[in-house]
Amino acid sequence: MSRPLERTIEIQARSEAPPLGDARAIPSVSGLPPDLVAQSARRLGIASLIWAALWSFALVMNNFVAPLVSPDKPLDDAWPWPGNPAAILVVTLSLLVFAHTRRQRLAGTRALDVGLGYEIAIALAIGVVNQWTPNVAGLSWICVLVVTHPVIVPNTRRKTLLAALAAASMDPVGLLLTRARGVELPEMSQLVWTYVPNYICAFLAVLPSHVIRRLGQQVSSARRLGSYQLGERVGRGGMGEVYRATHRMLARPAAIKLIRPEMLGTGSPEAALALAQRFRREANAAALLCSPHTIDLYDFGVAEDGTLFYVMELLEGVDLRTLVTRFGPVPAARAIHFLQQACRSLAEAHARGLVHRDIKPSNIHACRFGLEVDFLKVLDFGLVRLEEPALDVSATIPGIMAGTPSFMAPEQALGRAVDRRADLYSLGCVAYWLLTGRLVFEAETPVQMLERHLDGVPDPPSRHAELHVPDELDALILSCLAKKPADRPRDAPELSVALAACAASEPWTAERAQHWWDLHLPHAGFSAMSANAAAISVHQAETAP
């Protein structure tokens, strides 16, 4: 399959038709990108807390503080009888809205619509309390609510206007309730002039909502990279961000990793240009990889602001770091199953002269792949190094460290030339993690970690594993962790054959794998994965896996 990667793709700022397919990756009916809709939902939660605090303050002041300050002055006019039950109901409702927004039970446009209902409920409480004794002096607090709420929780113009008109009518509703109690109301002309500002504010409320909606559309347009529309952010790290994305014509879900040159510490425009050229050449080399166990690289480009971006397939599953952290070390048979698949990916890369240089648990994902489970995908082949010196186009840029100290081969830590056996060392570290849930060496700093890999003698995995580790597997992993490349397995196919020869007490079958996924990740989807976010940490010096 051809993957054109040489072109530099510019960010398209013009308005285009939204993509078909995954609705999570396109603007909602509110006109806002999905992540901005999510921000509006969070702001609704914050606003609900503020209203809860204001009404709680009113309860305390009018029931406890005011009687102490003015014991002889009744508060019937300022805080009539409905004030207490109305305040309690508003506080309760506000806390419920806050709880739901924090538990992510309100998502997308549903959260915005709930916000409109919440606006009307607050206005009703204000109207009832405000008009228990007819109040025709000054502007109503409802005006403030009607104007500010669309800024906090924007929506479509139609919905915003309808909700604002309904909220503006809560003062008249309060007056109708007062009249039903037999209280005489002021003259109609006086009431009209008093509450016309409510309706003026209702029409004005459409303006901020419209402005925010237009800004959201502009943001959505600006966040188109090539043929892909960026959706919600699903990962963030020290080197950049990962977004869910959808191809605008093919409706194909994808993950886009954005890497800004300044975050790589390049320090100068020349270094940034060299970095972009190097990434482009390496991405072209990585695009040649066809193994089903290698993540598919769809596209690559450089935006106008110098941001590098990779478009990758969207994985459905969980990375090995998260898998072990959440569910504990895996049985030896499952570890062998994972490692053999990783070997197939590396074997093809090595055959093409590519060395990964950053094999680690967070760069290897266990996925649902079609009808299969426990299907392994190796990530970050967009940042490989060509093995042959004559073809080496990835000279180290000052300030950038390629690899992760916790999984780095000694020769790589020393800055020497690396070959395929450096990846096998890292894969041995991954095997250690899978079986024990521990790193091969423990250290407090990246420098100390590198020193341990240079000089330390690793314990056999079986010494720290809770589950049985066959002696053959123990010895094989230690051979992968040999300090000298010549003492390790010769290549990935040889390692795969050796893994197959390791006797496991109980084989890892497709039935066992399916049972595990049904039990632990029955609904594993794109949201359950790391969303390729682990790929962000490439080049970072870290001691964690």
- Any alpha helices (H) in 352-464, and if so which ranges? 410-413, 420-436, 446-455
Q: Among 333, 309, 338, which residue's Cα sits nearest to residue 321?
A: 338
Which residues are the active-site residues? 358
With beta carbons less than 8 A apart as the criterion, state whether 300 and 309 touch. yes
Contacts within 8 Å (CB) and 24+ apart, 516-520: 516/373, 516/374, 517/368, 517/373, 517/374, 520/327
Q: What are φ and ψ of residue 366, in 5° steps? A: -90, 125
Residue length of the chain:
545
Region of residue 462 (phi > 0: left; psi between -120 and 50: alpha; otherwise: beta):
alpha
Count of Cβ atoms closer than 10 Å to residue 487 Cβ:
12
- 224 secondary structure, DSSP code: E
Q: Which residue has the tokens 């605008």?
A: 248
In angstroms, the CA 241 to CA 264 distance is 13
Sheet holding 364-369, edge to edge: 317-319, 364-369, 372-378
Could you tell me how far CA 481 lies from the centroid of its own chain? Answer: 34
Tokens of 435: 């079986």
Nearest CA-CA partner of 66 in 55, 81, 79, 52:
79
Contacts of 39 (CB under 8 A, 6+ apart): none
| 60/74 Cα distance (integer angstroms) | 16
The Cα–Cα gap between 281 and 297 comes to 13
Contact criterion met (CB below 8 Å) for 477 and 431: yes
Decide: 129 and 58 in contact? Cβ < 8 Å: no
